[in-house]
Homo-oligomer: A and B are copies of this chain.
Amino acid sequence: MDITVEQPGSRDAERADGSRPSGRPPLTERRKAETRLAIAHEAVRLFAEHGVAATSGEDIARAAGISPRTLWRYFPSKEECVRPLLSAGLESAARRLRELPAGRPLREGLQAGVPSAAERADVSSALLRLIRLLPDEPGLRAVWLRVHHDAERVFTEVIAARTGADPDGLVPRLKAVMLNGALRVAAEEWARRSAEADQAAGDEAFRRAVLQATESLDI
Protein backbone atom coordinates (compact mmCIF):
# COMPACT_ATOMS: atom_id res chain seq x y z
CA MET A 1 0.00 0.00 0.00
CA ASP A 2 2.61 2.50 1.06
CA ILE A 3 5.22 3.19 -1.56
CA THR A 4 7.40 5.56 0.41
CA VAL A 5 10.26 4.05 2.36
CA GLU A 6 9.85 3.98 6.10
CA GLN A 7 10.79 7.27 7.67
CA PRO A 8 12.44 7.34 11.11
CA GLY A 9 9.65 9.56 12.37
CA SER A 10 6.82 7.26 11.39
CA ARG A 11 7.86 4.31 13.46
CA ASP A 12 4.57 2.52 13.33
CA ALA A 13 2.67 2.96 10.11
CA GLU A 14 -0.22 0.66 9.42
CA ARG A 15 0.57 -2.99 8.97
CA ALA A 16 -0.12 -4.83 5.74
CA ASP A 17 -3.35 -6.27 7.13
CA GLY A 18 -4.58 -2.81 8.11
CA SER A 19 -4.32 -3.27 11.85
CA ARG A 20 -2.35 -0.83 13.97
CA PRO A 21 0.41 -2.07 16.31
CA SER A 22 -0.95 -1.59 19.82
CA GLY A 23 -3.47 1.16 20.21
CA ARG A 24 -1.78 3.85 18.15
CA PRO A 25 -4.10 6.84 17.98
CA PRO A 26 -4.93 7.87 14.44
CA LEU A 27 -5.04 11.47 15.65
CA THR A 28 -1.31 11.60 16.17
CA GLU A 29 -0.78 9.79 12.91
CA ARG A 30 -2.83 12.32 11.06
CA ARG A 31 -1.05 15.24 12.64
CA LYS A 32 2.28 13.76 11.64
CA ALA A 33 1.08 13.29 8.08
CA GLU A 34 -0.02 16.90 8.03
CA THR A 35 3.36 18.03 9.31
CA ARG A 36 5.06 15.95 6.63
CA LEU A 37 3.01 17.57 3.91
CA ALA A 38 3.45 21.05 5.37
CA ILE A 39 7.21 20.58 5.36
CA ALA A 40 7.04 19.41 1.75
CA HIS A 41 5.09 22.47 0.67
CA GLU A 42 7.42 24.88 2.44
CA ALA A 43 10.44 23.09 1.00
CA VAL A 44 9.12 23.36 -2.55
CA ARG A 45 8.34 27.03 -2.06
CA LEU A 46 11.83 27.81 -0.75
CA PHE A 47 13.53 25.65 -3.36
CA ALA A 48 11.61 27.41 -6.10
CA GLU A 49 12.35 30.87 -4.71
CA HIS A 50 16.03 30.56 -3.83
CA GLY A 51 17.21 27.25 -5.24
CA VAL A 52 18.10 24.11 -3.33
CA ALA A 53 21.70 25.08 -2.61
CA ALA A 54 20.73 28.41 -1.06
CA THR A 55 18.07 26.80 1.13
CA SER A 56 19.31 25.30 4.39
CA GLY A 57 17.60 22.69 6.47
CA GLU A 58 17.21 25.32 9.15
CA ASP A 59 15.33 27.54 6.68
CA ILE A 60 12.85 24.79 5.92
CA ALA A 61 12.40 23.98 9.58
CA ARG A 62 11.75 27.61 10.45
CA ALA A 63 9.23 27.99 7.62
CA ALA A 64 7.44 24.86 8.79
CA GLY A 65 7.46 26.02 12.40
CA ILE A 66 9.52 23.16 13.79
CA SER A 67 13.03 22.74 15.11
CA PRO A 68 15.80 21.58 12.80
CA ARG A 69 16.22 18.42 14.85
CA THR A 70 12.60 17.54 14.23
CA LEU A 71 12.96 18.20 10.52
CA TRP A 72 15.73 15.61 10.30
CA ARG A 73 13.51 13.13 12.07
CA TYR A 74 10.84 13.58 9.42
CA PHE A 75 13.19 13.46 6.47
CA PRO A 76 16.74 12.11 6.09
CA SER A 77 17.89 14.97 3.85
CA LYS A 78 16.60 18.34 2.76
CA GLU A 79 15.97 17.10 -0.77
CA GLU A 80 13.85 14.23 0.56
CA CYS A 81 11.46 16.79 2.03
CA VAL A 82 9.68 16.96 -1.32
CA ARG A 83 9.09 13.20 -1.49
CA PRO A 84 5.46 13.24 -0.26
CA LEU A 85 4.52 15.38 -3.23
CA LEU A 86 6.45 13.34 -5.76
CA SER A 87 5.16 10.00 -4.54
CA ALA A 88 1.50 10.99 -4.27
CA GLY A 89 0.72 10.31 -7.92
CA LEU A 90 2.46 6.95 -7.94
CA GLU A 91 0.77 5.81 -4.76
CA SER A 92 -2.55 6.72 -6.24
CA ALA A 93 -1.72 4.91 -9.47
CA ALA A 94 -0.68 1.80 -7.56
CA ARG A 95 -3.94 1.87 -5.61
CA ARG A 96 -5.98 2.16 -8.79
CA LEU A 97 -4.15 -0.75 -10.36
CA ARG A 98 -4.75 -2.96 -7.35
CA GLU A 99 -8.44 -2.17 -7.35
CA LEU A 100 -8.85 -2.65 -11.08
CA PRO A 101 -11.16 -5.62 -11.78
CA ALA A 102 -9.35 -8.66 -13.14
CA GLY A 103 -9.46 -8.98 -16.88
CA ARG A 104 -9.33 -5.26 -17.54
CA PRO A 105 -6.15 -3.98 -19.18
CA LEU A 106 -3.89 -2.06 -16.82
CA ARG A 107 -4.04 1.09 -18.90
CA GLU A 108 -7.57 1.69 -17.67
CA GLY A 109 -6.21 2.24 -14.18
CA LEU A 110 -3.55 4.67 -15.37
CA GLN A 111 -5.30 7.10 -17.65
CA ALA A 112 -6.83 9.20 -14.91
CA GLY A 113 -3.96 11.69 -15.23
CA VAL A 114 -1.80 13.39 -12.67
CA PRO A 115 -4.08 16.09 -11.25
CA SER A 116 -6.93 13.76 -10.47
CA ALA A 117 -4.38 11.34 -9.07
CA ALA A 118 -3.07 14.02 -6.73
CA GLU A 119 -6.67 14.59 -5.68
CA ARG A 120 -6.00 17.84 -3.84
CA ALA A 121 -5.53 21.02 -5.85
CA ASP A 122 -2.74 22.38 -3.67
CA VAL A 123 -0.82 19.14 -4.05
CA SER A 124 -1.29 19.21 -7.79
CA SER A 125 -0.09 22.80 -8.17
CA ALA A 126 2.87 22.25 -5.87
CA LEU A 127 3.73 19.14 -7.85
CA LEU A 128 3.62 21.16 -11.05
CA ARG A 129 6.04 23.73 -9.66
CA LEU A 130 8.23 20.95 -8.31
CA ILE A 131 8.50 18.98 -11.53
CA ARG A 132 9.46 22.17 -13.32
CA LEU A 133 12.36 22.52 -10.91
CA LEU A 134 13.75 19.09 -11.76
CA PRO A 135 15.79 19.99 -14.86
CA ASP A 136 17.83 22.55 -12.93
CA GLU A 137 18.12 20.75 -9.62
CA PRO A 138 20.09 17.50 -9.67
CA GLY A 139 19.37 16.83 -6.01
CA LEU A 140 15.63 16.93 -6.55
CA ARG A 141 15.93 14.93 -9.75
CA ALA A 142 17.64 12.22 -7.70
CA VAL A 143 14.65 12.08 -5.36
CA TRP A 144 12.32 11.87 -8.35
CA LEU A 145 14.30 8.89 -9.64
CA ARG A 146 14.37 7.21 -6.25
CA VAL A 147 10.63 7.63 -5.79
CA HIS A 148 10.00 5.95 -9.11
CA HIS A 149 12.53 3.27 -8.29
CA ASP A 150 10.62 2.48 -5.10
CA ALA A 151 7.45 2.10 -7.13
CA GLU A 152 8.95 -0.59 -9.33
CA ARG A 153 8.41 -3.30 -6.75
CA VAL A 154 4.70 -2.53 -6.49
CA PHE A 155 4.19 -2.47 -10.24
CA THR A 156 6.07 -5.73 -10.58
CA GLU A 157 3.72 -7.41 -8.14
CA VAL A 158 0.63 -6.00 -9.77
CA ILE A 159 1.71 -7.07 -13.24
CA ALA A 160 2.76 -10.50 -12.05
CA ALA A 161 -0.52 -11.06 -10.24
CA ARG A 162 -2.52 -9.98 -13.26
CA THR A 163 -0.65 -12.07 -15.81
CA GLY A 164 -0.20 -15.05 -13.53
CA ALA A 165 3.56 -14.87 -13.93
CA ASP A 166 6.23 -15.43 -11.29
CA PRO A 167 6.72 -12.11 -9.42
CA ASP A 168 10.45 -12.84 -9.25
CA GLY A 169 10.64 -13.63 -12.94
CA LEU A 170 12.27 -11.49 -15.56
CA VAL A 171 9.28 -10.47 -17.64
CA PRO A 172 7.08 -8.88 -14.95
CA ARG A 173 10.01 -6.91 -13.60
CA LEU A 174 10.98 -5.80 -17.08
CA LYS A 175 7.48 -4.63 -17.88
CA ALA A 176 7.14 -2.92 -14.52
CA VAL A 177 10.36 -0.96 -14.93
CA MET A 178 9.49 0.03 -18.47
CA LEU A 179 5.99 1.08 -17.48
CA ASN A 180 7.40 2.99 -14.56
CA GLY A 181 9.80 4.89 -16.79
CA ALA A 182 6.92 5.70 -19.10
CA LEU A 183 4.92 7.08 -16.18
CA ARG A 184 7.85 9.28 -15.25
CA VAL A 185 8.08 10.67 -18.78
CA ALA A 186 4.32 11.07 -18.86
CA ALA A 187 4.35 13.10 -15.65
CA GLU A 188 7.19 15.28 -16.89
CA GLU A 189 5.35 15.81 -20.15
CA TRP A 190 2.21 16.63 -18.21
CA ALA A 191 4.06 19.31 -16.26
CA ARG A 192 5.67 20.77 -19.36
CA ARG A 193 2.46 20.95 -21.38
CA SER A 194 0.39 22.15 -18.44
CA ALA A 195 2.72 25.10 -18.03
CA GLU A 196 3.15 25.83 -21.75
CA ALA A 197 -0.45 25.39 -22.78
CA ASP A 198 -3.19 24.55 -20.32
CA GLN A 199 -4.26 21.77 -18.02
CA ALA A 200 -6.23 19.95 -20.69
CA ALA A 201 -3.18 19.81 -22.94
CA GLY A 202 -1.15 18.42 -20.05
CA ASP A 203 -3.71 15.74 -19.32
CA GLU A 204 -3.89 14.82 -22.96
CA ALA A 205 -0.10 14.44 -23.15
CA PHE A 206 -0.14 12.23 -20.08
CA ARG A 207 -2.83 10.01 -21.51
CA ARG A 208 -1.06 9.71 -24.83
CA ALA A 209 2.19 8.63 -23.20
CA VAL A 210 0.46 6.05 -21.03
CA LEU A 211 -1.43 4.64 -23.98
CA GLN A 212 1.68 4.40 -26.12
CA ALA A 213 3.57 2.58 -23.39
CA THR A 214 0.87 0.18 -22.27
CA GLU A 215 0.10 -0.81 -25.84
CA SER A 216 3.68 -1.66 -26.70
CA LEU A 217 3.96 -3.58 -23.42
CA ASP A 218 0.66 -5.31 -24.06
CA ILE A 219 -0.73 -4.62 -20.58
Contact = CB atoms under 8 A, between A and B. Distances in A.
Interface of A: 138, 141-142, 145-146, 149, 170-171, 173-174, 177-178, 180-182, 184-185, 189, 205, 208-209, 212-213, 216-218
Contact of A145 (B149, B182, B205): B149
A170 B192 CA distance: 12
Main SS at interface, chain A: helix
Nearest to A188: B173
A171 B218 contact: no
A16 to B, nearest CB: 21
A81 B61 CA distance: 31
A184 B180 CA distance: 13
A189 B170 contact: yes
A185 B189 contact: no
10 contacts: A141-B146, A141-B149, A145-B149, A170-B205, A174-B209, A177-B182, A178-B178, A178-B213, A180-B181, A181-B181
Contacts of A171: 212
Given A142-B142, A145-B145, A182 B178 contact: yes
A218 to B, nearest CB: 7
A134 to B, nearest CB: 11
